[in-house]
Structure 1
Amino acid sequence: MVCCNRRCGLLVGAVFGAAVAILGGILMAVDDQIIKGTVVKEAVIEPGTTAYNNWISSAAFVYRQMWLFDVQNPQEVIQNGSKPRVLEKGPYTYRVRYLAKENITAHDNNTVSFLLPNGAIFEPSMSIGSEEDYVTVLNLAVAGAYSLVPKPLHFIVENLIKTTNSSLFQRRTVREILWGYPDPILKKILGVFSPYNGTYDGYYTVNTGKDDISKVSTIEKWKGERQLSFWKDKYCDTINGTDASSFAPFLDKEKPIYFFSSDICRSVSSTYNESIDLKGIKVYRYVLPPTTFASPTVNPDNHCFCIEKLVTKNCTLAGVLDVSRCREGVKVFISLPHFLHGSEYLRQEVLGLNPSEEHHFTYLDIEPITGFTLSFAKRLQLNMMYGPSKVITVLKKVKDYTIFPIVWLNETATLDNATADRIKAELFSRIELLETMQVAFMGTGAAIFLLCLLSYCCIRKGGR
């Protein structure tokens, strides 16, 4: 009877072990679904989720480094028609995007609207020099007036330059150039980023992803409109993708991602470049392809971004984007720093530029399971234009149209150690726990099954 009980117990143990091992196999089979369910739940933009907490206000500080182009030979340019020679000066670093989103309004159609407040605080410890450093740069008013005033009326610009004792170039402090100064020609505050503090970007209306997680963070409207109106073309006016702070989870690195940037007034794509380790988290690095600012002769999709055919050599010039239509008429050209990926002509007309793929490219480091952007570097250059004139004295020696660099910026952020640990604890620890449970169940179950089965066989053989 005792032998029978032993045998029965071992049989029960073997069955139990097999059941535990099978449970581990089942967990492995449904692993992806469990992980996906966890991620989808936390990626929706609604109160209580990981995505919402990160979305309200970035945990990582965003810094904007800026280098100004100091003109070394201003008088030679004006008096002899020499090509300008510039020297990069900086960086002057500011903390930006430190303010939480405002006027957050949830809508019934699974969208949420908000304003992005602008603010900048100078960071002396991260800068080379102070805001009171003097730099010789292109005169914003002269360049702007040259672009906007028709040639038959250039005598008006000439009179304004003479009566205000202005010139093609001006020497001002970094603070004035970036954030504003009273301009004697236009009788208004001028500055590369003026006005900035106290202003807003948006309204943005984005999809929460509640009904369809593939649409999470996708911009539905900007400033209340589903399309832009700058480019007068359906393709170029399309608002495509997110604001680049996050994307839909479960990234496929074979497919490009899309985001809209109000800085350049258009949507762009970004492609997978490599996988890297960021504070113990595997991320996909996406970069802007060289065709982003290519001429329409190379990238036909850019045909509607070409506005000024005279300056861009009948749209064959690569590397610059005329954003004057979305800058209240001010003739501003956006490019990558030092005209990276731009036509050689641009660097021939302004001496001292040295584009570097390593230092001047834009990238996003995205965690592929959640779609969260954990680190980025947005690098852009702001340029203005001037050209020859028979009437304006300071431009009489100029031989050709010149797209002149004013400042280039490197806006960066990366998650800190505490945020990295929290992400790993809130998401990846669950995944790791699930995987550990799978292995434990299968291993323990298989061991119990084999031990009980072997013991049963031994007892049965001994009973004979």
Structure 2
Amino acid sequence: MRNGNNWWTEMKHSTYLVSVGCLVFLVCTFFFTLITLDPISWLVIYEKTDLVPGTVSYAQWKEPKIDIYFQAYMFNLTNPEEFVGGAKPRVQQVGPYTYREHRIKTDMSEQHTGSTIEYRERIYYYFVPELSVGPESDVVTTVNLAYIQIDVQFGWLPAAVDRVIELLENRTEDYLITTRTVRELLWGYEDPFLRFLYNMFIPVPTTMIGLYWNKNGTERELTEIYRNNKDQARFGQVYKFQGQTKLSVWTTSEANKLNGSDGSLFHPFLQWKEQPYVFTADICRSIQLRPTSEVKFAGVPVYRYLPFEDTFRSALNTEKNRGFCLNWPNCLKDNVHDMTTCMPGAPIVMSLPHLMHADPEYQNAVEGLHPNDDLNTSFLIEPKTGVVFKAQKKLQINARVKNNPKFRELSLVHNVFLPVMFMNESFTIDTETVSSLRLSVYTGPIVVKTILSILLIVCALILFVIVARKYWYAGSTPTNVPYQELSTGTAPETQESV
């Protein structure tokens, strides 16, 4: 009988040890999983955002499936005759004229043992009538950029020569003011005077005039970017542009640096203190962004970024912009960007829409402008993945009109940066992608952590109860009573009282 009891006791003790061991193992497993869940999530994020074939990020980067829109807001000159006669120009915004973009990367090749990728990009623009104020055939009155371009190129000649040039312009019905369709102003039309010069064997870069001429469906500049998303300092950054590691359009090496990505890629785990750059090929320079607030987008926390307020500030007031002044110290005033070297021959300057934040001299020279902070460029970026949830790039093209007594139609006008159009290039991430990202990056890990925490607590409590019961029973069992073995059929011996 003693052997049977020993067996039963040992069996219970073994069961106790196994139970305790299993619970300890589960507690350790849950605890280990809990503390390693974040690193595992980080690895998953790195894997999904890697810019290699087969990943979601690569597919989206190569040929974006989200809707990207290009909106053109034209400025109609409502007092053209008075303007030519010396009055202040009066403009009226007309728009938007909306186009859907289809982007695709071409001529892609790996460089530097795969650390960078080289490509060109084609952008196709498709007019969207339902998102526009009218058809592309709407007409707009504005200044003739070809006429101003001729003034820039030949205005230094003797007055008699310039008079002949202007006479020839007028004979081809080329004047300072022109009325064209939206389609012509954006995508190009053949200027009659430039065609005349071409036919006379006078070299001209092109006979076409258009704000975005030769940009619809054509290959853009050769670009090379860093692709390793674990190299946070360089992921997505432009390494080469047109085969060069720096620009050659500005007057200082700092201004000519290729800083930032193209605005579609940011490295994972973006920190609030970071101030990323975006390289904007349209204006041949990089723009630095600053975080302004943390907001929720469909329940997902995102950082809102705006350009620094001194981005286009005059070099006369900001030393860091010294390189963007092309004729020191005769620099432009605040918040306009000289495009003379970026777009040779084009008589334009860039600014924020409605000359926002521009020097009062520039703003007051034009009637009909209504600048406000909503017209600024902005980005909403999810910091853990670096995914851009929403982006709006807004820039304005202004004609640089200068008084020139050698040209009759320019003899009375005042120097002015006349708004021609401003563009808003934007996209918003689709709902399906937001839901997937919210589940995988935020909701999923929180649910897993919650379940693991509950299981950890439950297992720990069970383990505590088992151990406590063991020690309680052990403490309540008498240990000072000697063991007596009983024989079958024999009465226990009794000790008589003395």
**Which bin holds the TM-score, normalised by the shorter protein?**
over 0.9
Can you give the 5+ residue segments of structure 1 that lack an aligned partner in the other structure? none
Would you say the 8 A contact 2:303–2:383 is kept in 1? yes
1:337 aligns with 2:343: no
* Larger relative contact order, structure 1 or 2 (CA cutoff 8 Å, min sep 6): 1
1:270 aligns with 2:289: yes
After superposition, the CA RMSD in angstroms is: 2.2
One-letter amino acid of the counterpart of residue 221, structure 2 = G
Partner of 1:179: 187
One-letter amino acid of the counterpart of residue 416, structure 2 = T
Partner of 1:106: 110
1:456 aligns with 2:460: no
Would you say the 8 A contact 2:145–2:347 is kept in 1? no
The 1:410–1:454 alpha-carbon spacing in structure 2 relative to 1, beyond 3 Å, is same
1:363 maps to which of 359, 370, 378: 378
Deviation for aligned residue 1:386: 1.1
1:147 maps to which of 152, 174, 178: 152
Secondary structure at 1:456 match in 2: helix
One-letter amino acid of the counterpart of residue 194, structure 1 = W
Alignment map for 1:2-17 (pairs within 5 Å): 2=8, 5-6=11-12, 8-17=14-23
The 1:433–1:111 alpha-carbon spacing in structure 2 relative to 1, beyond 3 Å, is farther
The 1:328–1:200 alpha-carbon spacing in structure 2 relative to 1, beyond 3 Å, is farther
Would you say the 8 A contact 1:17–1:444 is kept in 2? no
1:256 aligns with 2:272: no
Q: Deviations over 1:357-402 (max 9, x none)?
A: 02x1111111101112121011110111111111211111123x21
Partner of 1:405: 419
One-letter amino acid of the counterpart of residue 134, structure 2 = G
Taking only the aligned residue pairs, the percentage that are identical comes to 28
Q: Deviations over 1:88-132 (max 9, x none)?
A: 001100012x13211221232421111110211100000011111
TM-score by length of 2: 0.86
Partner of 1:158: 166
1:288 aligns with 2:307: yes
Alignment map for 1:4-43 (pairs within 5 Å): 5-6=11-12, 8-43=14-49
Deviation for aligned residue 1:212: 2.8
Would you say the 8 A contact 2:155–2:406 is kept in 1? no
1:396 maps to which of 411, 414, 420: 411
Partner of 2:204: none
Deviation for aligned residue 1:416: 1.0
Deviation for aligned residue 1:450: 2.4
Secondary structure at 2:260 match in 1: coil
Question: In structure 2, what is the Cα distance between the partners aligned to 1:438 and 1:155?
Answer: 85
Deviation for aligned residue 1:314: 2.6
1:85 maps to which of 77, 87, 90: 90
Partner of 2:259: 240
Partner of 2:322: 303
1:349 aligns with 2:365: yes
Moved over 6 A (4+): none
Alignment map for 1:130-145 (pairs within 5 Å): 130-145=135-150
Can you give the 5+ residue segments of structure 2 that lack an aligned partner in the other structure? 196-206, 479-498
Question: In structure 2, what is the Cα distance between the partners aligned to 1:438 and 1:41?
Answer: 24
Deviation for aligned residue 1:425: 4.7
1:115 aligns with 2:120: yes
Structure number with bigger Rg: 2
Partner of 1:415: 429
TM-score by length of 1: 0.92
Question: In structure 2, what is the Cα distance between the partners aligned to 1:308 and 1:186?
Answer: 29
Question: In structure 2, what is the Cα distance between the partners aligned to 1:32 and 1:102?
Answer: 37
